[in-house]
Amino acid sequence: MPVHSWLASPRETRGILDRYGLATKHRLGQNFLVNDAVIGKILDLAELADTDVVFEIGPGIGTLTVAMLPLAGAVVSVEADRDLPPVLAETCSRDSERFALVEGDALRVGAAQLTDAVGSLGIEGLDPQPTKLVSNLPYQVAATVVLKTFEQMPSVRRAVVMVQAEVADRMAASPGSKAYGGYTAKLALYARPTGRFEVGPGNFMPPPHVDSAVIRLDRMPMPDPSTGEPLSCECISWCGRVIDAAFAQRRKTIRNSMGSNGFDKAVLDEAFAAVGISPTARAEALSPEDFVRLSLALEGSQHV
Ligand code: SAM
């Protein structure tokens, strides 16, 4: 018997889809969760409270949504499939006073739209800004939306997201490992992995062709090494540009890659010497902390 979500079984999911005359859509990454135990583990990691406003990307038929609604202050979900709003109106009807649905592409939705949608629910005493991103993400956009959420929604303190196992590896990779890249280094400027569990294809309908994992990321902005204070938004964004230039040509040395991507080589040499980074190193050998030190040394110099 499901205890978290009455929708989390193959029978209920098929029943709802059949009743609305729908089939799952591969192009939208529709692999619906059908195991209630997985929902329970997601909720354990999310640690929802009634002060939380959950931002959910891709509610589908509402399988995870209905489990979160009784635990959170509100849930605001963004769904791209135009066939699903009537389904969600039915499945989420029990907690409709706490549920806001934004129809559209999560890549185009901004913080203000989410906050307005929650504000229009008129829940007394609830700050309408999203606090946690909790989602079984459509895999095509997963990596992008997680980084975008941490970059553009400072009120979001935690993400608990189902992603392709390979993407979870990239999110948590150590410098020098195969999975480590510019994406890892940029995400580390905002957040750190604090939990993870693996989810096999049999937990979804239809089963995906890849392994999945749920990863928890907590916002922990990288500190300024000289003051210990969190880096400013401007500094983080500048560091992101330095990381992009360093990884732009992965096989080249960091000096050549950055030199071909808008940085003056003489200025670079001065900065490398000042922070003790070898100009012949490859970008994947540098830790996120190294990139912060390099960016601070380059600040005020010739920018891209
Ligand atoms: N949350 C449901 C569950 O766990 O069973 C469904 C998850 S399913 C993996 C991904 C959902 O994201 C689908 O409902 C799909 O229609 C939706 N989706 C796909 N691309 C999207 C996008 N760019 N913006 C918002 N939703 C999207």
> Which residue from 136, 199, 205, 214 has its CB within 8 A of the most atoms of ligand 1, so it is best to mutate?
136
For each of the chain's 304 residues, which pLDDT tens digit applies? 679 999 999 999 999 999 999 999 999 999 999 999 999 999 999 999 999 999 999 999 999 999 999 999 999 999 999 999 999 999 999 999 999 999 999 999 999 999 999 999 999 999 999 999 999 999 999 999 999 999 999 999 999 999 999 999 999 999 999 999 999 999 999 999 999 999 999 999 999 999 999 999 999 989 988 889 999 888 999 999 999 999 999 889 999 999 999 999 999 999 999 999 999 999 999 999 999 999 999 986 644 4
Is any atom of ligand 1 closer than 6 Å to the C-beta of 35?
no
Q: Is the CB of 164 under 6 A from ligand 1?
A: no
Structure tokens at 289: 């902390």
Tell me if 256 sits within 8 A of 279, measured CB to CB: no
| Distance spanning both ends of the chain, measured CA to CA | 58
| Displacement of CA 50 from its chain's centroid (Å) | 22
The C-alpha atoms of residue 63 and residue 76 are separated, in whole angstroms, by 14
Domain 10-219 class in CATH: alpha beta
203 CB less than 6 Å from ligand 1? no
Q: Return the domain boundaries, the chain.
A: 10-219, 233-298
- What proportions of the chain, in percent to the nearest 5, are helix, strand and coil? 40, 15, 40
- How is residue 5 written in tokens? 């979500």
Q: 241-274 in b/e burial notation, b at 16+ Cβ within 10 A?
A: bbbbbbbebeebbbbebbbebebeeebbeebbee
Ligand 1 pocket check for 30: Cβ under 6 Å: yes
Residue 273 structure tokens: 């010497």
233-298 under CATH 1.10.8.100, yes or no: yes
